[in-house]
């Protein structure tokens, strides 16, 4: 969740209590619009607010596990302080993106910073940043000793990454479209997700055609024309709706 106050975050957590395995507080989004609204990376400079958010969310939700996602700071003392503050408030685990707010996505992840925070953290630490393959996950483990790895863009481009696939399998696209329509997912969300998933499967012309689709029927026609059956695979778990 993104929030700018303890009351707001706690209320949102209370709302989903009993329906989720945990709630994550996003203190890592570096986009300027988020920072201006006091959410995302703006919270990196407000450890006391983060503390109150975690405490109140746990109290009002009956103990739903709360995790906190953060970024490194140029001054690692501030990162250590934030981690320890979140831990003392009751955070179940911390996810650390190995870039500062001002570090460009094209610049390398600071694995040494992640390794250092792992050495001082009490709760499990999850590494984030440039995780784009299962082999990459293993490399992160070896270089940092963390307890887990989180992927963002990597999973958008290949949702089957953690299953060992190097690229998105066709059945993954079929399952996604089938499930999305069954759940009533917004067309714009389906289209944008497919742009990520099929980036390496379609040529430039087809990507432009996908982006030009303006309706669900048009999208279905395009996908079937490109050879997608849109039928669920045997791996797809049944939906409890």
Contacts of 240 (CB under 8 A, 6+ apart): none
Which residues form the catalytic set? 29
Contacts of 45 (CB under 8 A, 6+ apart): none
Alpha carbon distance, N-terminus to C-terminus of the chain = 23
> Which pairs from 28-37 meet CB under 8 Å and 24+ separation?
28/69, 28/70, 28/71, 28/95, 28/97, 28/128, 29/2, 30/71, 30/101, 30/102, 34/2, 35/101, 37/4
Token readout for 161 is: 């990454």
Token readout for 102 is: 């001002």
> Following CA atoms 221, 211, 228, 155 in sequence, which dihedral angle do they give, to the nearest 10 degrees?
-150
- Contact between 146 and 114 under an 8 Å Cβ cutoff? The reply is yes
* Local structure of 179: helix, strand or coil: helix
């Amino acid at each position: 969740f993104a929030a700018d106050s303890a009351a707001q975050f706690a209320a949102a957590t209370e709302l989903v209590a009993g329906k989720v395995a945990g709630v994550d507080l996003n203190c890592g989004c570096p986009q300027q619009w988020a920072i201006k609204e006091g959410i995302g990376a703006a919270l990196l400079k407000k450890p006391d607010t983060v503390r109150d958010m975690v405490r109140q969310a746990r109290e009002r939700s009956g103990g739903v596990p709360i995790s906190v996602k953060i970024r490194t700071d140029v001054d690692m003392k501030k990162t250590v302080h934030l981690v320890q503050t979140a831990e003392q408030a009751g955070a179940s685990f911390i996810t650390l993106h190995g870039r500062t707010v001002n570090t460009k996505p094209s610049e390398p992840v600071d694995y040494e910073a992640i390794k250092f925070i792992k050495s001082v953290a009490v709760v499990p630490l999850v590494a984030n940043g440039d995780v784009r393959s299962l082999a990459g996950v293993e490399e992160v483990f070896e270089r940092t000793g963390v307890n887990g790895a989180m992927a963002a863009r990597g999973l958008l481009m290949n949702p089957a990454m953690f299953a060992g696939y190097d690229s998105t399998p066709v059945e993954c696209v079929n399952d996604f479209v089938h499930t999305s329509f069954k759940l009533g997912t917004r067309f714009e969300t389906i289209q944008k997700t497919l742009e990520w998933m099929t980036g390496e499967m379609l040529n430039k012309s087809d990507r432009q055609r996908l982006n030009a689709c303006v309706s669900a029927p048009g999208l279905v026609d395009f996908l079937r024309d490109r050879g997608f059956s849109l039928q669920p695979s045997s791996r797809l778990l049944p939906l409890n709706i």
